[in-house]
Amino acid sequence: MTTPSATSVPTVKLLIDGKFVESTTSEWMDVTNPATQEVLARVPMATAYELSAAVSSARAAFKTWRKTSIGTRARIFLRYQQLIRDNMAELAAILTAEQGKTLPDAEGDVFRGLEVVEHAASIGNLQLGEFANNVAAGVDTYTLMQPLGVCAGITPFNFPAMIPLWMFPMAIATGNTFVLKPSEQDPMVTMRLVELAMEAGIPPGVLNVVHGGKDVVNGICDHPDIKAVSFVGSTAVGTHVYNRATGTGKRAQCMMGAKNHMVVLPDADKEQTLNALAGSAFGAAGQRCMAIPVVVLVGESQTWLGELVERAKTLKVNAGHEPGTDIGPLISRAALDRVHRLVESGESEGARLELDGRKPAVPGYEDGNFFGPTVFSQVNTEMSIYREEIFGPVLCVLHAATLDEAIELVNANPNGNGTAIFTRSGAAARHFQEEIDVGQVGINVPIPVPVPLFSFTGSRGSKLGDLGPYGKQVIQFYTQTKTVTSRWFGEDDVGGVNTTITLK
Ligand code: NAD
């Protein structure tokens, strides 16, 4: 860690009470371009005082924001979606520089978040209560879905545009105020999105941003004025956040690690299947929570392994901004070291290395964190490469004799984020859909991240908390349902003392 005065590199600002301000901390981290190691900016580890100021500002803003009309809230997000569209190329370029993914994939990252902003703009149709007329004579019951107060979001490095946009637009559109803690590894595109949100008309204090790592996250979990915490990241950290936040009475939703399996039946369209598999296993250098790091080849489809490896070899490893790149660098040296360690363990534990992506040649970017597409066959469920989340471009190939054997294997894995089946048989696909114990299922679709008409619905070891981000479920998450039962007395109403619990 260094101090910002040591260099002329720009600093990433905090957003507190509507102002972008320099942190007073003495702890800073470099934000580096993973293709070149160039230091792009320095990000502060905000102090406890700064977190407290952000929460106080959000708490004060809640008093008026919670009463803001539906139309006013919706129009801010209508303006915001246009601003994101207008600035798409700049947003993608910032994202690629600090995160590494290819420019088209960076646009996809922004676009999948933009869809949530569009959804937030229809808040008038989403945050509707229920009404029952005459639940007793002259008595009506209805519900109000009221905002909770200050909510917080903690986001990972791999989707620095989409995942912050899963959180603050929906929380704010439902009448809450928000404190965002972006990933310290790539906070710059998130901050550009935050600037655009303020330009769209979000009032001071309604959205605040603090940067940092463990201490700031713990501060969020413990803060008595924060009512709900949304987290996306690894299983270890998410479990800690869930326990710590709920332990202080907060609502929490934690979307965590994954080990997604694709099941391939021999009747599948071979071309489509292998293209989808290569794209989802190696795209974004395998750093997607909905990547496919495990394929289960069923029956005769085992003979497709050679063609799969040939396809993987055609993918171009290069800096994300270079035209024609398929696979950019990994986020950090630490991530690169982890992938190297796991590939070595795969070899020593007896898997067969069909394609070795270690140390790919990337002329002009010799210092980048590159790892090429890697394929292991003869993988079993005891090996570290199967048990751990590699989060790199490494595909494990397993075999199953039947669809039911494949389903059993997927269901025995502790993770439940996503899965996919490739087949031409409707009956087999339906059987899979019914029997598979995973929250998000693709049928001939490799990365089934639901659009915001639905919610993200990971399950089992990949999720803690009942309600998912964005979509319908998050309206419940960010609101408290109040049930009102009301009676208005007319002049002619006569009463008497009623000592029972029934309404008359
Ligand atoms: P991470 O868990 O390291 O970091 C996530 C957030 O937690 C960051 O903001 C970070 O600052 C903070 N953090 C890190 N260490 C902490 C600690 N010890 N205590 C408290 N806070 C801490 O995750 P990452 O490496 O940024 O992201 C990759 C992980 O996220 C993968 O496991 C991936 O599967 C998962 N992910 C899941 C989903 C999903 O929807 N299920 C989506 C994207 C990413």
- The pLDDT tens digits of the residues spanning 442-486 come to 999 997 899 999 999 999 999 999 999 999 999 999 999 999 999
In whole angstroms, what is the distance from residue 452 CA to residue 475 CA?
A: 12
Pairing of strands 352-355, 374-377: antiparallel
pLDDT score for 499 = 87
Atom of ligand 1 nearest to the CA of 237: 2
pLDDT digits (tens, 9 = 90+) for 237-261: 999 999 999 999 999 999 999 999 9
In sequence order, what are the beta bridge partners of 153? 180, 230
Residues labelled catalytic:
289
The residue whose two tokens read 């005891």 is: 382
Q: Give residue 463 CA to ligand 1 midpoint distance, Å.
A: 12
The three-state secondary structure class of 148 is coil
Residue 173 CB less than 6 A away from ligand 1:
no
**Nearest alpha carbon, ligand 1 atom 19:** 214
Q: d(Cα 333, Cα 341) in Å, to the nearest integer?
A: 12
Task: Work out which ligand 1 atom sits closest to the CA atom of 184.
Answer: 11
Out of 27, 232, 287, give the residue to mutate to test ligand 1, the one with the largest number of ligand atoms within 8 Å of its CB: 232
d(CA 323, CA 493): 78
Is residue 186 within 6 Å of ligand 1 at its C-beta?
no
What is the predicted pLDDT for the residue at 264? 98
How far is ligand 1, taken at its centre, from the CA of residue 467, in Å? 19
Nearest CA-CA partner of 162 in 119, 116, 121: 116
Q: How many whole angstroms separate alpha carbon 248 and alpha carbon 246?
A: 5
Q: Do 264 and 297 touch, CB atoms closer than 8 A?
A: yes
Integer Cα distance of 128 and 497 in angstroms: 35
Please give the distance, rounded to the nearest whole angstrom, from the Cα atom of residue 114 to the centre of ligand 1: 21
Q: State which of 98, 157, 239 you would mutate to test the pocket of ligand 1, scoring each by most atoms of that ligand within 8 A of its C-beta.
A: 157
pLDDT at 76 over 80: yes
pLDDT bin (cut points 50, 70, 90) of residue 310 is: very high
Please say whether the beta carbons of 141 and 485 come within 8 A: yes
**Is the separation of the CB atoms in 189 and 209 below 8 Å?**
no
Q: Of 170, 131, 95, 110, which Cα lies nearest the Cα of 467?
A: 170
Q: Rounded to two decimals, what is the model's pTM? A: 0.97
| Cβ atoms 194, 209 nearer than 8 A | yes
Q: Which CATH class is domain 261-443?
A: alpha beta
Q: How far apart are CA 303 and CA 488, in angstroms?
A: 75
Residues 6 or more apart whose CB falls under 8 angstroms from that of 9 comprise: 30, 39, 40, 41, 42
More reliable by pLDDT, 496 or 39: 39
Does ligand 1 come within 6 angstroms of the Cβ of 109? no
Residue 136 φ/ψ, nearest 5 degrees: -140, 175
Mutation probe of ligand 1 site: the residue of 217, 391, 440, 470 with most atoms within 8 A of C-beta? 217
CA dihedral 288, 294, 299, 304 (to 10 degrees): 70
Residue 260 and residue 473: Cα distance in Å, rounded? 23
Beta carbons of 198 and 18 less than 8 angstroms apart: yes
Judge contact between 69 and 123, C-beta under 8 A: no
Q: Is the CB of 415 under 6 A from ligand 1?
A: no
371 lines ligand 1 (CB under 6 A): no
Give the single-character DSSP code of 302: G
Rounded to the nearest angstrom, the distance between the alpha carbon of 117 and the centre of ligand 1 is: 23
CA nearest ligand 1 atom 16, residue: 214
Ligand 1 lined by 184 (C-beta under 6 Å):
yes
Nearest CA to ligand 1 atom 9: 183
Ligand 1 contact, 237 CB (< 6 A):
yes
- Ligand 1 center to 101 CA (angstroms): 17
Q: Would you say residue 503 has pLDDT above 80?
A: no
Looking at residue 3, what is its pLDDT?
53
User: What does 219-251 look like in DSSP terms, one character per residue?
Assistant: HHHH-TTEEEEEEES-HHHHHHHHHHHHHTT-E
List, as one string, the DSSP characters of 300-349: GGGGGHHHHHHHHHTPPB--TTSTT-SB---S-HHHHHHHHHHHHHHHHT
Q: Which residue type, as a one-letter code, is found at position 500? A: T
CATH number for the domain running over 14-256+471-484: 3.40.605.10
Q: Which residue's CA lies nearest to atom 18 of ligand 1? A: 214
Residue 6 scores a pLDDT above 60: no
Report helix, strand or coil for 62: helix
E strand intervals along 11-88: 14-16, 19-21, 28-32, 39-44
pLDDT beyond 90 at 2: no
Cα(374)–Cα(207) distance, integer angstroms: 42
Ligand 1 centroid distance, CA of 330 (Å): 15
Cβ atoms within 10 A of the Cβ of 363, count?
Answer: 6
pLDDT band at 4; cut points 50, 70, 90: low
The pLDDT of residue 1 is: 54
Specify whether the CB–CB gap between 255 and 466 falls below 8 A: no
Residue 492 has pLDDT above 90, yes or no: no
Cα–Cα nearest to 362, from 332, 338, 329: 329
Backbone angles phi, psi at 322, to 5 degrees: -80, 135
Task: Please name the residue whose Cα sits nearest to atom 31 of ligand 1.
Answer: 234
Q: Is 286 in the pocket of ligand 1 (CB under 6 A)?
A: no
Cβ(187) to ligand 1 under 6 A?
Answer: no
Mean pLDDT for all residues in the chain: 97
Q: Is the ipTM of this complex over 0.85?
A: yes
Distance 33 CA to ligand 1 centre (A): 19
Can you tell me the distance from the alpha carbon of 15 to that of 207, in angstroms, rounded to the nearest whole number? 8
Degrees, nearest 5: CA angle 359-363-367? 60
Report domain extents, the chain. 14-256+471-484, 261-443
Question: Ligand 1 in contact with 203 (CB < 6 A)?
Answer: no
Q: 45 near 215, Cβ under 8 Å? A: yes
Distance 290 CA to ligand 1 centre (A): 14
Task: Tell me, in angstroms, the distance from the centre of ligand 1 to residue 237's CA.
Answer: 6
Find, among 196, 186, 9, the residue nearest to 101 by Cα: 186
Task: Count other C-beta atoms under 10 Å from residue 333's C-beta.
Answer: 13
The angle, 0 to 180 degrees and rounded to 10, between the axes of the packed helices 70-86 and 162-173 is: 160
Spatial CA neighbour of 321 closest among 261, 368, 266: 368
